[in-house]
Amino acid sequence: MKSLIILRGLPGSGKSTLAKLLSEDGKYPVFSVDDYFTNENGVYHFKFDENHLAYKHCELNTQKAMEQGSGKIFLDNAFTLEWEMEPYFKLAQQYNYQIHVLTVENRHQSKNIHAISDEQIQKMAQKYKVVLF
């Protein structure tokens, strides 16, 4: 069975680090909204007015990997809101991928690499929902 593994959690939780580890050194693709804002030198520059384009970019990359039949695909985004995951649920159904959603927590006291303030992370945490059914 092909798998779509969604790693969700607040900034600084270690989603990207875990995704790289689980992808077996790039054997399986890892996609993130952050990819859109990261240049070829690895420099991240967020532009709020282009955030919707970043979401679409991640979704299209995921769809291409599914079309190519990748055995596993990893997504590492905050996914604090349910609607952010919905397009991937639809793609998984369309391309017959089993979905796994993993919540990553910052138990290692790391800081986020995007300079998101603690206040903003607290706001994100208040919106963060875990589905129990």
Just give the CATH number of 2-127: 3.40.50.300
Short-list 39, 73, 41, 40, CA closest to 58 = 73
Q: What are phi and psi of 72, to 5 degrees?
A: -140, 145
Read off the pLDDT of residues 33-64 as tens digits, 9 standing for 90 and up. 999 999 999 898 989 899 999 999 999 999 99
pLDDT for res 132: 58
Short-list 131, 112, 132, CA closest to 122 = 112
Estimate the crossing angle of helix 86-95 against helix 51-67, to 10 degrees: 10
CB atoms within 10 A of CB 60: 13
**Domain layout of the chain by residue ranges:** 2-127
CA 121 to chain centroid, in Å, comes to: 16
Model pTM score: 0.85
Angle, vertex CA 41, rays to CA 35 and CA 46, nearest 5: 45
pLDDT for res 81: 86
Greatest CA span in the chain, whole angstroms? 42
- The confidence band for 11, taking pLDDT boundaries of 50, 70 and 90, is confident
Decide if 105 contacts 57 (C-beta within 8 A): no
pLDDT at residue 98 above 80?
Answer: yes
